Structure formats: structure tokens, C-alpha cells
Amino acid sequence: MKSGSNLEKVLSSGHFAVTAELGPPKSCDPEVVEKKAEILKGFADAVNITDNQTAIVRTSSIATGVIVARKGLEPVVQMTCRDRNRIAIQSDLLGAAALGIKNLLCLTGDHQSCGNHPQARGVFDLDAIQLIDMVRRMRDEKKFQCGEEMSVEPRFFIGAAANPFADPFEFQVIRLAKKVTAGAEFIQTQLIYNVEKFARWMKMVREMGLHEKTYILAGVGPIKSAGAARYMKNKVAGMDVPGEIVERLQAASDPKAEGIKLCLDIIEQVRAIEGVAGIHIMAIEWESAVPEIAERAGLLPRPQID
Amino acid sequence: MIIADRKPFEEIKELTSKAKNILIAGCDSCVAVCLASGEKEVAVLASELRMQRKMDGLEGEIEEIVNVRQCENEYVDAMRDKVEKADLILSMACGVGVQTLAERFPDKLAYPALNTKFMGRPVEPGVWKENCEGCGHCILHLTGGICPVARCSKSMLNGPCGGSQGGKCEVDPEIDCGWQLIYDRLSRLGQLDALVEIMLSKDWSTSWSGGPRRVIKESAGV
Amino acid sequence: MNQITEDFEPQIVAFCCRYCAYAAADLAGSSRIQYPPNVKIVLLPCSGKVDELYLLKAFEAEADGVYVAGCLEGTCHFLTGNLRAKKRVQYVKSLLDEVGIGGERLEMYNLSSAEGQRFAEIAREMTERIRALGPSPLNQRKSKEGAIK
Ligand code: SF4
Ligand code: SF4
């Protein structure tokens, strides 16, 4: 055990893992976080707490993670390289570990121009792979990035993201291998709507034996309407939403129900792919869909491991 | 070379509103090549200012001068006669030129008429693109001659990020993904292996992060 | 203001290509087609010779309106001179807007050497346009000052 987190235990004991996502509020209202945590508790092994996702200012991921943990739900704190240099990141990670955070997802981060402060100066002192490498060394070598020793090391279960729909397609798998070499013990993928492409990507992952070195959690999520699907298809960088998905939602009499049905279909398909160790449900601002999805996908109850 | 672009006329109008005699000082090096500061550009701005100032009832003369390089003392010092007569020098050089004027003529105001943008080059008529950030430790030999620091929006050394699609950057479909370019070039050279290795975090102390930099060449005085 | 507009005789400078507009002006003359005397013609070897600075200097020299007349598109003697002229006119229009003189005081026209009638029409059109706009803001100031003195 690297961290002893619930997520790590679930995965290492061979269970099919379920993680979800919880976006901190654009205010300092802890009740919003607590409410979302109440909804998700018991339906996911851990929940990702986004770090100023899409470069929009929100409560810090570490603070939100602590609130969530107090509610009895395990957080996966996300950390991006956009807003902090190596000094700030290490400092925040020590703080997070001291507050009991055990799972960390390392990201480069969306560019600041995508968010609500496009005038901000971006940092990008490190990239995601260098961040993973730094966190692993902090944990396993008890060393700061500069090489200095530390007495008590932060013990994180280290995760990273992968996007099977980004280009160059073949190289994104090599880049995943780099993340694994750097120390990524679990991977959460971008939202999958093009299952066929994801399956091709997983084939390459298996050919490189990466599924045996890291746990791959397939990213899934319900879409509320054809309009939302179209927006993701055309406006969100790094997404691949096939036309059929938009049409299917367009044709539905109850698009919300159809969105959930679609998500369940995708879960069923990705579960069948060799090397998929779990799913990561991203129901952004629609947390209430997660219990239903977990239930109907037959993923309940979640395992209790001590 | 250094690429710059003229400030909007409104801003220049603002900057010059309190001055009487203005010397517009062009530079015939980098910024002239990118059509921001040669004789023509200086003459156009002078003509615009003359007309605007006449309409606004402002007195004074607008003089023009263009020298070889506004970033070298020798050339700048040769402007002294014209500078004496002006109470504002409106520099059409890059930021380096403006600062040279400020230093050589400590009692005169030297204001920028350009926005200095980046180090880059023309890629097609009328279009210039950024190539180098002057990070102080060049790694182009590792990246197929394409700079990840300047040409990846996130300066990633282990790119591309998940936002790269169809060769374009997530920041703007007008921006080529620097990492797609690196990938294409290295695969053409048969050197993709180079990208399998993790590139360790960069030592930014050689960049501006280490404070304003200087270069000393012992041999220069010999 | 009406007063000024009524007795205002605009000064207009026309930069004319020798292969079309200038020849058309000649034709208008020899066919005794009338056109306003406000237009002063400057001969160019091609409309593409027109420089941003010529246009600006004409305004600086207190022209109320300026136009460039080149060959019909696709028939430039030097292939693309008239297209270059068009771009420069566009650019200088934006400069005139910035400065506050107004881009509408500058125009690009295209015609052939056989169009004496059209030449006269353009001259009238431009004169009317500028008459309606009134004196260039550069000259308005002067006339005001003149009036005070
Ligand atoms: S690596 Fe550094 S020095 Fe080399 S091109 Fe890029 S920014 Fe410039
Ligand atoms: S899309 Fe390409 S250029 Fe843009 S940030 Fe990502 S890797 Fe860098």
C-alpha cells in the first residue's frame, strides 16, 4: 500500500472501482460541498475534487477535499500546474497530506485563457509528467524536487489523466506510458462517447502492458440534452462526441432519462474491455445522477475494505 | 528577430497629448523588417499625428528620424541634435530601443509607440509567429528544432496535453499545437524514441525567472 | 453649418492611372463632357503606385476628399497594381478614421479608358459626397480661426 486510501484498497483488491466528480463552488459556501458529498456518499469509492477546473476560480481543491472527507467521503484531490510553481505545489501537497488527503490526481491543467481570468499569467513551471515524478519522489525517496530530504513524507496514491481522443492518437499512448513510468498508479480518462475509438486505444494500452502497471478508470458521464452534447462536440477541447449521440438525444422524448440510459450503455461497453479497472463518473452539476447510474449499472453496494 | 506592432492611435494620441515638439524615432532593424518602424511607418505616424494635432489645436513640430539600430549607443547618440529640440521622443523601436533612448537622454521623455511582442519570424506575407522565449538554455536539439517553451501554450516539455486535436491547440484553433509539430518532425527524422524518455523539469533560473540577465564575453574586449 | 455647406467648394485630389482613368479624363475632355472643376488630377503610371503617404499627404495639404482611380479588376496593366491600391485605400481609410478625418473622404474607383462618361460621373459623385460631408476637419479649424480674426 502506497497510501492506504480506500480507492487504492478497492483497486488493489481487484474490485471494479467507481469514482465520481465533485466541483467546488464559485463561493466559499461549505454547505454546497456538504450537500454534494451527501448525495455521492456510498455510491463512489472516492470523488475527484477539481482544481479550478477550466481555469474558473472556485474554492481550493484541498480545502474542499477536507470538507468532503469530514462528511465521510474520500476525496481525490486534483492538482494542476497552471497556477502554482514547484514551490507552491510542494507546499500545498504537504499541507494536503497533513490534513489527511490520500489520493492525488496530477494534471497540467486547462490553459488560463479558457477560464474567467484570461488576463492571468500562467505558471506551467512543471507539466503533469514532471509533477507526477516529483510527487513520487517526495513519497518514495522522501525528497523535495530540489533533492533536499524531508522527515515525514506525503503518502499519496498518485493518479493522472489520459485523453484517448487527443492527437497524435498513437503518441498519446506513449505519453500515458511516460506517466506510468513517472509514477501514475491510476488513470482516469477523458469522457468517453466514442467507445470504438476508446477500444482501439485500450488495445494499444494492452499491447504496451500498461493496464498491468496502472489501474485504468474509464471516464463516463450522462448528458442532459442534445444541446449539451452538441456543445461538447463543438466547443470543448479534447472531446469526441459522435453525431449519433447528438441524434439519439435529439430524438428522445425525455432527453435526461435518455442521457442516463446512454451513460449506462457506455458503462456496459467499456466494462467489457479488457484492462478497464473501473469507471470515473463525471456528472458535473448533476451529482444526483450518480446514485442512479451506479445502481442501475449494478455497481452497488460499494465494497467495504479495512 | 524582435516582432512588434504599433499601439492603437488612440493610445498614442493620449501619450503625446501633453507634448509640444515631438521626435518620432524609428529603428531600421528588426522592427522595420516586421513593418512596424521603418521610414514609411514613421512617416505615416508623423502624418497622422500632424493632422490630429492640428485638428485638436495643439501647437508644435513633429520631427522624424530613423537610425540603423535604436539599441546601440553609437547610433542613438548621433540623434542628439534632433533630440535637443524635442520635448518628447516617441520611439518606434522595440522596448530595448525605448530604454536605450531613456538611458542616453536622461532628461528627455521617451515613450513607446509600439507594443513589443516576441522573438519570431515572418511565416507568410503580413503574418509573424513566435519562436523563442529566450529561456537561456536551448533544448531545440531534443525537440526536432521546434521550441516547446515558446510554441506550446503551456510550455510543456512532455506534451502534447489532452487538448491537442487535429494539430491545433486547445487555446485557439488558429494556434498550431507545438507538440504536434514536434511529433511530426521527429517522426519524419525517425527520432520518435527521443519522446519516450521523460524530459525532467526545466531549470528556469537561466530564464527571466532568474532575474534580469546579462551576457559577458571575456573575449569581447580583446 | 448650412451656410458653410452651401458655399463650400471642396478640394478633391484624384490619383489616376494613366492606362484607364487618366485616359478616360482625356476622353471626357475631348468629348466635352462636363465634370466639376473641384477635382485636381494627379497622374500615376499605375494605381498601384499610390502610396499610403501620398494619400495622407494630400489630406495634410488640406484636400477635403481624395480618390484613387484604377483599371477594372482583372485588367491592370501590371496585373495586380489596382488590387494593391485597393488594399492601401482600405488601410488609409482606417487611419483617417483613427485620426478623426473620416475614412469616407477617401475612395477607390475602377473604370476603363473608354469610360469618359463614367469618369465625369465619379468626379461628380465624389464632389457631392464631400460637399455633403463639409470641409475636412483639418480645414474647418482653419476657417473658424479665420473667422475669429
Ligand atoms: S528552448 Fe529556450 S532558447 Fe531554445 S528556442 Fe526555446 S525558448 Fe528559445
Ligand atoms: S494543445 Fe498542444 S500547444 Fe496547446 S497546450 Fe496542449 S500541447 Fe501545448
User: Does position A293 have pLDDT exceeding 80, yes or no?
Assistant: yes
Mean pLDDT of chain A: 97
Percent of chain A with pLDDT over 70: 100
Ligand 1: centre distance to CA B172 (Å):
22
Stretch A84-95: mean pLDDT, rounded?
A: 98
Domains of chain B (ranges; CATH) run 2-118 (3.40.50), 133-208 (no CATH)
Taking residues B85-90, report their average pLDDT.
97
- Contact call for B and C: 3+ CB–CB distances under 8 Å: yes
Q: Where are the domains of chain C?
A: 10-148
* CA distance between the termini of chain A: 12
pLDDT at C73 over 90: yes
pLDDT at C3 > cutoff 70: no
**Residue C146 pLDDT level (bands cut at 50, 70, 90):** very low
Helix, strand, coil percent content, chain B, rounded in steps of 5: 35, 25, 40
- Between chain C and chain A, are at least 3 CB pairs below 8 A? no
Reply yes or no on whether the pLDDT at B98 is more than 70.
Answer: yes
pLDDT higher than 80, residue A133: yes
Choose which residue among B138, B203, B213 to substitute to test ligand 1 binding: the one with the highest number of ligand atoms within 8 A of its C-beta: B138
CA dist., res. A240 & res. A212, Å (int)? 26
pLDDT tens, residue by residue, A1-48? 899 999 999 999 999 999 999 999 999 999 999 999 999 999 999 999
Spatial strand order in the sheet of B109-112: B62-67, B22-27, B88-91, B109-112
Question: Taking residues C14-31, what's their average pLDDT?
Answer: 94
pLDDT at C145 over 80: no
In a domain, A303, yes or no: no
Report whether residue B97 contacts ligand 2, using a CB cutoff of 6 Å.
no
Contact status of C144 with chain B (Cβ, < 8 Å): no
Radius of gyration of chain B measured on its C-alpha atoms = 22
Residue B177: CB within 6 Å of ligand 2? yes
- Residue C149 Cα to ligand 2 midpoint, Å, equals 66
Ligand 1 centroid – CA B123 distance (Å) = 18
User: B48-58: per-residue pLDDT in tens?
Assistant: 999 999 999 99
C40, C10, C47: which is closest to C25 by C-alpha?
C40
Quickly state the pLDDT bin for C141 (edges 50, 70, 90).
Answer: low
Q: Per the structure, how many domains does chain A have?
A: 1
CA of A192 to the centre of ligand 1 (A): 36
State the pairing for strand pair B2-6/B114-124.
antiparallel
Rounded to whole angstroms, the Cα distance separating A157 from A280 reads 16
Name the residue facing A174 among B184, B195, B201 (closest C-beta). Answer: B195
Given a cut of 60, is residue C27 above it in pLDDT? yes
Strand A103-107 versus strand A75-80 pairing type: parallel
pLDDT tens for each residue of A78-88: 999 999 999 99
CB-nearest partner of B48 from C99, C137, C141: C99
Contacting residues of B for C95, CB less than 8 Å apart: 9, 44, 48
Domain, as residue range, for A245: 6-296
pLDDT in tens, B113-161: 999 999 999 999 999 999 999 999 999 999 999 999 999 999 999 999 9
Determine the distance separating the centroid of ligand 1 and the alpha carbon of B140, expressed in angstroms.
Answer: 7
Amino acid identity for residue B107 in this structure: D
Evaluate whether residue A306 is within a structural domain: no
Using only C-alpha atoms, chain A has a radius of gyration, in whole angstroms, of 18
Report the pLDDT averaged over residues B60-83: 96
A122's grid cell: 500562467
Q: Write the DSSP string, chain A.
A: --S--HHHHHHHTT--EEEEEEPPPSSS-HHHHHHHHHHHTTT-SEEEE-SSGGG---S-HHHHHHHHHHTT--EEEEEESSS--HHHHHHHHHHHHHTT--EEEEE----GGGSS-TTSPP--SS-HHHHHHHHHHHHHT-B-TTS-B-SS----EEEEEE-TTSSSHHHHHHHHHHHHHHT--EEEEEEPS-HHHHHHHHHHHHHTTGGGTSEEEEEE-----HHHHHHHHHHSTT----HHHHHHHHH-SSHHHHHHHHHHHHHHHHHTSTTEEEEEE--TT-TTHHHHHHHHTT--SPP---
Residue A301 within any structural domain of the chain? no
Whole-angstrom Cα distance, residue C136 to residue C144? 12
Asked whether the predicted pLDDT for residue B222 surpasses 70, the reply is no
- Residue-level pLDDT at A266: 98
* B158 with A130: Cβ contact below 8 A: yes
Can you give the pLDDT at residue C7?
Answer: 77
- Nearest one of A83, A82, A64, A72 to A22, comparing CA atoms: A64
pLDDT at C2: 43
CATH architecture of C10-148: 3-Layer(aba) Sandwich (3.40)
Bridge partner list, C13: C40, C66
Q: How far is B149 from chain A (nearest CA, A)?
A: 10
pLDDT over threshold 80, residue A184: yes
**Are B166 and A178 within 8 A, CB to CB?**
no
Let me know if residue A305 belongs to a domain: no
What would the pLDDT profile of C116-126 be if each residue is shown by its tens digit?
A: 999 999 999 99
Contact A24, A60 (CB under 8 A): yes
Position C147 scores a pLDDT of 44
Kindly state if the Cβ of B150 falls inside 6 Å of ligand 1: yes
Question: CB of A127 within 8 Å of any CB in chain B?
Answer: yes
**Nearest CA distance, A70 vs chain B (angstrom):** 33
Residue C149 pLDDT > 80, yes or no? no
Q: Do B51 and C101 touch (CB under 8 A)?
A: yes
First to last CA, chain B: 28
Reported confidence tier of residue B182, pLDDT bands at 50, 70, 90: very high
Give every CB contact of residue B106 below 8 A, 6+ residues apart in sequence. Answer: none
Q: Nearest residue of B to residue A121 by CA position?
A: B154
Q: Is residue A26 part of a domain?
A: yes
A160/A157 Cα distance (integer angstroms): 10
pLDDT at A59 over 80: yes
User: What percent of chain A is modeled with pLDDT above 90?
Assistant: 97
B154 closest CB neighbour out of A122, A172, A177: A122
Size of interface B-C (CB pairs under 8 A): 38
Q: What is the CATH number of the domain that holds A200?
A: 3.20.20.220
* 3 state SS of B134: coil
pLDDT of B72 strictly over 50: yes
Closest Cα to atom 3 of ligand 1:
B138
Q: Which residue has the higher pLDDT, C141 or A305?
A: A305
Work out the average pLDDT over A50-73: 97
On chain B, the residues whose CB falls within 8 A of the CB of A133 are 198, 200-201
The mean per-residue pLDDT over the stretch A220-249 comes to 94
